[in-house]
Each structure stands twice: as C-alpha cells, then as structure tokens.
Amino acid sequence: MNESGNNTEYNGGKPEVNIIGAGLAGLSAALTLARMDIPCRLISPMPSERAQSVMAEGGINASLDTMGESDSPDEHFADTMKGGVYLADPNAVWNLCSNAPKTVEMLCSLGAALKMKDGKLVLRNFGGQKKKRTAYAKSSTGKILMTALIDAVRRYEAEGIVKRYSHHRLYSFDIADGNCRGIDVNDLHTGRLIRMNGSVILASGGMNSLFPGLTTGSTVNTGDVTAMAFINGVEIANPEFIQYHPTTFPITGKRCLVSEAARGEGGRLFALRKGEPWYFMEEKYPELGNLMPRDVVSREIELVKVDKDCDGHVYLDMTGLDRLVWSDKLSDLREECIRFLGTDPAIKPVEVSPGIHYFMGGINVDEKHRTNISRLYAAGECACQYHGANRLGGNSMLGAVFGGYTAACTAASEADENNTGIEELSQCRREIMQPVGIPDEAAKLLRDSLGIFRSGETLEAAEERMQELIEGEKNELQKRRMILGRAVLLAAQNRKESRGAHTRTDYPEKDDVNFRRTTIVTYSEKEITVSLRDIPEKRGESG
C-alpha cells in the first residue's frame, strides 16, 4: 500500500523503518536513515516541537578539548563509567564517548547555535566531571539542538523519504516468534487505525506516568510504549534506577528543574544549620563539591533535610554569580525562576529539593541498540543504555542523538525489504484524552517506596498491593502501566545493595560480587520474572 492506504506502490525494494517518538533520538534516527536513502515513518502524538527533548537544559558532553584542559574520550569514558557506578556496558559507553566529538560537530554543522567563541565551542563544567566538557546554548540546549534537527529532517520530509505521522499513537505491536513485523498506530484526530509494516525503533522517552506530578519531564512521555513492549515480551533492564535531580522545585502538577548549569557556573547548595549557612557539599566533598554526580547530591540533600541541627530546607545560592554569567549563560533559567517561583535567583537563594528527572533503566538493548526481539530497537530515554546506575548531566542528549544514530544504522543493516507498506485497517474509537498518570493509590505506592532511600519491607508491601490493584483494574492502559510499575518494584526489591540512584536502607553497601550485574525483567503468561545478567567485558579498544 502507499501512504494513502489505497494502492500498492513499489518503493524500489528498499526496507522501511517505523520510528516511534520524534524527540532527539527519533529525529536522529530519521536523519540517519534518510541520509542512507532508507524510507522511514516518524510517529508521535505531537510534533517534534512538543517533545520532552526541547526541555533539556544544561548541555551535551563531548571531549572536544576547546578549553585547553587536555580532555579526551578516555576521560569522558572513565567519568561516565564511574558516575554510573560501573553498571553500564563498557563497550557501548566507549562507542558513545569516542563518537561524542563527531556527534556534536554534526549538530553544529546543522546550525545548532551552541555557544561559540573565536570559532570554537565553549564548554562548561557539569556534575561528575573534572574537566569542562559540556557544550551548551544558555540553558535551552535541548531546544536549540531540536530546532537544528527538525529543520534538517524537514528536507527529507519534503522529498518523501521521511513520512511524518504527528498526532499518532502506538496502538499495538505485531510481534510473533521473537520477530517484530510492524505496528498498528492510531490517528488521535480522526480515530483512523493504520497498519505499518517494517522494522521498529522505539524512541518514546521515560516512564513519567508512573509518578504523576513528581517528574520534571513532559506529560506526553507516559511510558505507555515501554509498558506495551514489556507486555509483548520485550525485556526491561535496570528499571530500579530512577534519577532524582537534586535541584528542582514544585509547580502545580509537576516539578520544575533548576539546571545543573547553575552549579556548573558557581551556584552553591546550603542549608541553615543553627541559623548559619552550611555549604554541606563543599564541606563533605572538597574536590567536586556542588558538582558531585546527581545521585550523591540528592542523597546528601535528603540527609541534610532531616538533620536535627537544620531546619528541613535546602537552598541553591546563585546570588554570587557574575552579571555576565546571567546575561550570557543563564538568562532563561533566571526568567523561569522568576516566572514559576516568584524568586529572582540573582537576588535571593532558591529553595530546592530532589525531583524525578530521568529513568536510567528501560527497554533492554545491546550496544547496537537491538532489543531481545529481532527488528525491534530502542534509543533515548526509553532504552536502558550508557548511564548505568546514575546518569551524568550532559550525557542524556548525547545518548539520545548517538543512540538514535546507532539504532538507525543497525535497523538499516538488518531490515527486511519484503516487509513494507502501510494499510488502513479501520476506524476505531477516537480517544483524544488519556489519563496522564496511573490511579492515585498505585501512584502513592510507587512514590512512597521508590524514593531516594528504599527498604525491602516497603517495597515488598507495595508490590503485593500493586498486584491486587492490577487484578481489579478495568482500564487496559492503566493496567499496563501498573504492571510496568510492579516490574520496577520487583527489580528494586531484588537488588539487595546500594548503588548509584538505588539506595537501600537495609542493604547500605555496594555488593559488586552479587550485584554488579544488569537487572533483567520479563513478562510472560501474566508472570513477571526478575534475573541478573552479566555485564559484557570491555573489548581491547582504548578507554
């Protein structure tokens, strides 16, 4: 069938790829495929301009070494592995870090307006890294990268190589005998149901619907694609690792991020201890101070908040930042604090607390971004890759762009040219509005048991109650979400150690012997199984 669904049209014997999600990872995959002249469909509930990627703030990491600090891919690799507490696939991380300079240069060649001086990219400090490695555009880096990629992909849309399906949502997978043959998608405006053959790349973002009101991300990134994939036999990896960004503040219905760039440019965390400012990060971690990895900073904030000598509040002091830093580097962050918090951070410290910002776990992929189902791939935040037990700031946009590229290359090399075309199936009920989050009680179970500090007892009780709620749930969408939530609980219960973003009060130590392994969660015959899989050995390349 051709794209109107009426007639068979020969596309020259080329394979076709369906990409679910039109943020950084989806656009990067589409651009990569288009440049190889491989037709693809870009499917998303909203246009790219509305994707969560436009919200990304601080920057993108690459050891471009433009600041005269002798940075290198080896050091980027070492920092990423250490930040992730050695749980990431070292070969995938090496691919990421060694290709990071080329990736950022590619984005620059599309006219991405990253900060430059004298013809060179300016890099800033970011958490968990001693050297300046983060390219940026004030604190709107995601928006600036997205604009460049959107314009680049538009050319191929006009040529018909990339077909946009905005306002479309995944309806079902066609997976049989371990092979993905295509998907059915639903037009949210008309209710039209369309069958799309070909390989599938999932680039659908994190699992925000499990934590309504608690995340910094988009309400569109529900995790519904991940939940549906899971139910269809796709493995989930490391879902227990949920990043709490240390500096967020609540606004109605969600949390708002104060970018790590604020601390990269000199912002200082403090609490009032016996009425006096206590710069606890600088005291406890003299080397990196406020720029320790996010898991460490978030834990420290939580501990300080319950310290009997403190008053339960933690502040980010940006009042000492230079006027030029505000105007050249953080003007948008300042505007956001004024607009949403009513505080000018240049004049008064901002009260902050940790909020859910990123899911390190997700769909299990190998270093080529293959899932356990053939011709089904995943990239970006929906995939578990690169970040281990804790993601470093600046690595998510890099992981999304490079992951999308890698997934596209793999999909192109493995695609089936005999499985192509689309077909209009039927009109199904037009369902414009879907619930943003899971039902209240289920949300409370996850919120209370999957915080920064966790205990086996709470996790077990939450998991048992979640199973009861699942059995009583009538809404299929909510049921899938709750099954995914239960998978996260079981994974957290099973990991009896503390590592990165997963801190168990009953197992406070790291246990490399038993747990320096990837959690794998599978779903079959209504049963969820959790196991641990060895991390691949590092091959002989540098890093």
17, 200 contact by CB (below 8 A): yes
Q: Does 218 bind other proteins (CB under 8 A)?
A: yes
Cβ neighbour number for residue 362 with a 10 Å cutoff: 28
Kindly state the tokens that stand for 23.
């943020």
Shortest distance in whole angstroms from residue 542 CB to other proteins = 29
Comparison of 194 and 411: residue with beta carbon closer to other proteins: 194
Q: Which of 340, 464, 541, 542 binds other proteins (CB under 8 A)?
A: 340
Per DSSP, the residues of 319-373 read TTS-HHHHHHTSHHHHHHHHHHHS--TTTS-EE-EEEEEEES-EEE--TT-B-SS
Angle CA 129–134–136, to nearest 5: 150
CA distance 300 to 174: 46
Q: Does 68 bind other proteins (CB under 8 A)?
A: no
Candidate segments 172-180, 333-341, 465-473, 489-497, binder of other proteins by CB under 8 A = 333-341
Cβ neighbour number for residue 8 with a 10 Å cutoff: 8
Q: Count of alpha carbons within 13 Å of 365, Cβ hemisphere only?
A: 36
Q: Does 339 bind other proteins (CB under 8 A)?
A: yes
Q: Which of 1, 36, 78, 108 binds other proteins (CB under 8 A)?
A: 108
Q: Is 6 exposed, middle or buried (0-12, 13-18, 19+ CB in 10 A)?
A: exposed
What residue has token string 């992730």? 84
Q: Does 254 bind other proteins (CB under 8 A)?
A: yes
CA distance 304 to 321: 24
Annotated catalytic residue, options 181, 255, 294, 481? 294
243, 255 contact by CB (below 8 A): no
* Nearest one of 408, 507, 379 to 454, comparing CA atoms: 507
Q: Which of 47, 178, 320, 536 binds other proteins (CB under 8 A)?
A: 47
Q: Which residues contact 44 (CB under 8 A, 6 or more apart)?
A: 20, 21, 22, 23, 26, 51, 165, 166, 168
Q: Does the annotation count 294 as an active-site position?
A: yes
Q: Which of 336, 367, 381, 497 binds other proteins (CB under 8 A)?
A: 336
H helix runs in 131-260, sequence order: 141-159, 224-231
String marking each residue 430-459 x if it binds other proteins according to CB under 8 A: --xx-xxx----------------------
Shortest distance in whole angstroms from residue 486 CB to other proteins = 22
Which residues between 395 and 434 bind other proteins (CB under 8 A)? 432-433
Q: Does 162 bind other proteins (CB under 8 A)?
A: no
Comparison of 149 and 271: residue with beta carbon closer to other proteins: 149
Determine the straight-line distance between the first and last CA of the chain, rounded to whole angstroms.
48
Comparison of 122 and 193: residue with beta carbon closer to other proteins: 122
Comparison of 220 and 228: residue with beta carbon closer to other proteins: 220
Comparison of 157 and 174: residue with beta carbon closer to other proteins: 157
Q: Does 477 bind other proteins (CB under 8 A)?
A: no
530, 521 contact by CB (below 8 A): yes
Shortest distance in whole angstroms from residue 144 CB to other proteins = 5
Shortest distance in whole angstroms from residue 440 CB to other proteins = 9
Q: Which of 102, 130, 251, 475 binds other proteins (CB under 8 A)?
A: 251
502, 495 contact by CB (below 8 A): yes
Which residues between 120 and 159 bind other proteins (CB under 8 A)? 137-138, 140, 143-144, 147-148, 151-152, 154-155, 157-158
Candidate segments 42-50, 176-184, 236-244, 288-296, binder of other proteins by CB under 8 A = 42-50
Q: Does 161 bind other proteins (CB under 8 A)?
A: no
Size of the site for other proteins (CB under 8 A): 55
CA distance 468 to 442: 10
Comparison of 113 and 346: residue with beta carbon closer to other proteins: 113
Q: Does 166 bind other proteins (CB under 8 A)?
A: yes
Residues of this chain that bind other proteins (CB under 8 A):
46-47, 49-52, 54-55, 108-119, 137-138, 140, 143-144, 147-148, 151-152, 154-155, 157-158, 164, 166-167, 189, 218-220, 251-254, 256, 336, 339-342, 432-433, 435-437
Point out the residues that are catalytic. 294
